Amino acid sequence: MLPLSVLHDLVIRARAGDDVCLHALFEMFRPLLRRAATRYARAAGYDEAYQEACAAFLHAIATHDPAAAPFPAYAASRVYGDTRTAMRRIWLAQDRTAFQRESEEGSNEDWDEEPGRRDSCCSQGLEPFHSVDQRLTLLRLAREAKLSPREGAWLALELAGLETGEMAERLGVSPATIRTWRMRALHKMRQRALEAGLSPSDL
């Protein structure tokens, strides 16, 4: 590991927009990101946990105060804490969906004798799985399109439901910067989708 003074200088430069320093930091701390993703992968899969870890690491770069804590300790706390929070939110959402479906299925033993009710229940039950399929497709495209750390952070926060302003505040950049990352990420993912033979209706 580099001396703290050098490491903190890299963080400052990365925060100011130096892509070389940013990539250097991601390479140095990639084992941390992988460990966090592996630890919390059970909720929604490794890819999504890794994207959340990357977003948390960017947040650590944006908010680190060298006077308060060394960057390695701060980054580890931020990455593990934020990834855990994000995965727990997904797990709770899945748990609520499962509970709701169980309640609906058990609320009327004669539900299959009511055609209108049957159609309604089936459509509601399939929606969460359709969303999961879309999510997995996007994550696969993101991995194959080789998004940059910043583009990956945008995707993770987009999937988490954050608005552009909220993303900008969390990552310490302007909304215009977030829109730029979004545009680049979508361009790469659309190109990869076309190469894979996918159509817009598949996404």
pLDDT in tens, 39-57: 988 867 888 888 888 888 9
> What confidence tier does 111 reach under pLDDT thresholds 50, 70, 90?
very low
The better pLDDT of the pair 60, 140 is held by 60
Sign of the Cα torsion 7, 30, 41, 165 reads positive
10-24, 75-89, 123-137, 188-202: which range is least confident on average? 123-137
pLDDT at 107: 47
The answer on pLDDT for 149 being more than 70 is yes
The answer on pLDDT for 138 being more than 90 is no
3-state secondary structure of 2: coil
Measured CA to CA, the distance from residue 147 to residue 83 in angstroms comes to 19
> What confidence tier does 99 reach under pLDDT thresholds 50, 70, 90?
very low
Measured CA to CA, the distance from residue 187 to residue 192 in angstroms comes to 9
Domain limits for position 33: 4-202
pLDDT at 36: 92
8-state DSSP, 196: T
8-state DSSP, 18: -
8-state DSSP, 107: S
pTM of the full structure: 0.55
The answer on pLDDT for 98 being more than 90 is no
Cα–Cα nearest to 51, from 142, 133, 117, 137: 142
Percent of the chain at pLDDT exceeding 70:
72
Cα–Cα nearest to 151, from 129, 126, 182, 172: 182
Q: How many domains does the chain have?
A: 1
pLDDT at 32: 94
The answer on pLDDT for 77 being more than 90 is yes
